């Protein structure tokens, strides 16, 4: 994503800690990952589900983005459950 800066919400930091997902890994997913869903009506900013792979493992990151400032806000991050997601982790089953 094109972000002028990235801020982590308290919720995201808690979930990242619980799920052993590091800040640097999440920043890589935000910078280089593939946007697989858009939630343009989310408030206060549109949000996006971004898929990336760290050490071969899939990671989903939900990112809100202020369209005016291009500031990005990590809402949450998780390892997608293969039971819930397609084999390529891009679509829900």
What does DSSP assign to residue 37? Answer: E
**Which is it for strands 34-39 and 5-8: parallel, antiparallel or unpaired?**
unpaired
Q: Kindly report, residue by residue over 29-86, the tens digit of the pLDDT.
A: 999 999 999 999 999 999 999 999 999 999 999 999 999 999 999 999 999 999 999 9
Q: Report residue 15 as tokens.
A: 């979930």
Q: CB pairs under 8 A, 24+ apart, for 15-21?
A: 15/76, 15/77, 15/78, 16/77, 19/77, 19/78, 19/79, 21/59, 21/77, 21/78, 21/79
pTM (predicted TM-score): 0.95
Binned at pLDDT 50, 70 and 90, residue 89 comes out as: very high
Task: Summarize pLDDT for 4-32 with one digit per residue, the tens.
Answer: 999 999 999 999 999 999 999 999 999 99
CATH: 3.40.190.10, 3.30.2310.20, 1.10.10.10, 3.90.180.10. Which one for 5-78? 3.30.2310.20
């Amino acid at each position: 994503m094109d972000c002028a800066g990235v801020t982590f919400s308290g919720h995201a930091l808690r979930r990242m800690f619980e799920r052993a997902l590091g800040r640097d890994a999440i920043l890589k997913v935000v910078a280089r990952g593939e946007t697989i869903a858009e939630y343009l009506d989310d408030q206060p900013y549109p949000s996006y589900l971004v898929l990336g792979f760290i050490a071969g493992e899939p990671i989903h990151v939900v990112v809100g983005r202020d369209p005016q400032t291009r500031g990005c806000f990590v809402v949450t991050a998780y390892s997608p459950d293969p039971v819930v997601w397609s084999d390529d982790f891009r679509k829900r089953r």
